[in-house]
Amino acid sequence: GAGVSQSPSNKVTEKGKDVELRCDPISGHTALYWYRQSLGQGLEFLIYFQGNSAPDKSGLPSDRFSAERTGGSVSTLTIQRTQQEDSAVYLCASSQTGGAGNTIYFGEGSWLTVV
């Protein structure tokens, strides 16, 4: 498809397990973002990748969270030892280039429930 693709769309996991969420950005987009939205909250920035530059990890809430982007395209967000407060929808987005003034386009999200 032409949009941002995320998988899985839904994931239920037991507390303490690790999860991986995948994002396929729009073809040709060099910037990739991860956000999350907890119940009743706004969109919280997690991490940003731009080309070959070092990622901006300033939004990652703890060292249990990590992300990588291979080959400048697909990205994986990993949450280790999941906790119930990690339950949220994790949204990936991409933009043609990074920086201010660029519209970012979101995927449909990966809904994570930690039980």
Partner 1 sequence: DQQVKQNSPSLSVQEGRISILNCDYTNSMFDYFLWYKKYPAEGPTFLISISSIKDKNEDGRFTVFLNKSAKHLSLHIVPSQPGDSAVYFCAASAVGAQKLVFGQGTRLTINP
| Residue 93 makes contact with partner 1 by CB under 8 A | yes
d(CA 51, CA 40): 33
| Residue 65 makes contact with partner 1 by CB under 8 A | no
| Residue 71 makes contact with partner 1 by CB under 8 A | no
Rank residues 41 and 84 by Cβ distance to partner 1 and give the closer one.
Answer: 41
State in angstroms the smallest separation of the CB of 81 from partner 1: 26
Site map (CB under 8 A) of partner 1, residues 12-41, x = contact: -------------------x-x-x-----x
Nearest alpha carbon to residue 64 among 84, 44, 48: 84
Q: Is the preceding peptide bond at 8 cis, omega within 30 degrees of 0? A: yes
Length of the chain, in residues: 115
Which position among 82, 107, 112, 114 is part of the footprint of partner 1 (CB under 8 A)?
A: 107
| Residue 48 makes contact with partner 1 by CB under 8 A | yes
Which position among 11, 13, 22, 59 is part of the footprint of partner 1 (CB under 8 A)?
A: 59
Lateral strand order in the sheet of 5-7: 5-7, 19-24, 75-79, 65-69
For residue 22, give Cα distances in angstroms to 99, 100, 102, 107: 23, 25, 23, 11
- List residues binding partner 1 (CB under 8 A): 4, 31, 33, 35, 41-45, 48, 50, 56, 59, 91, 93, 98-101, 103-109
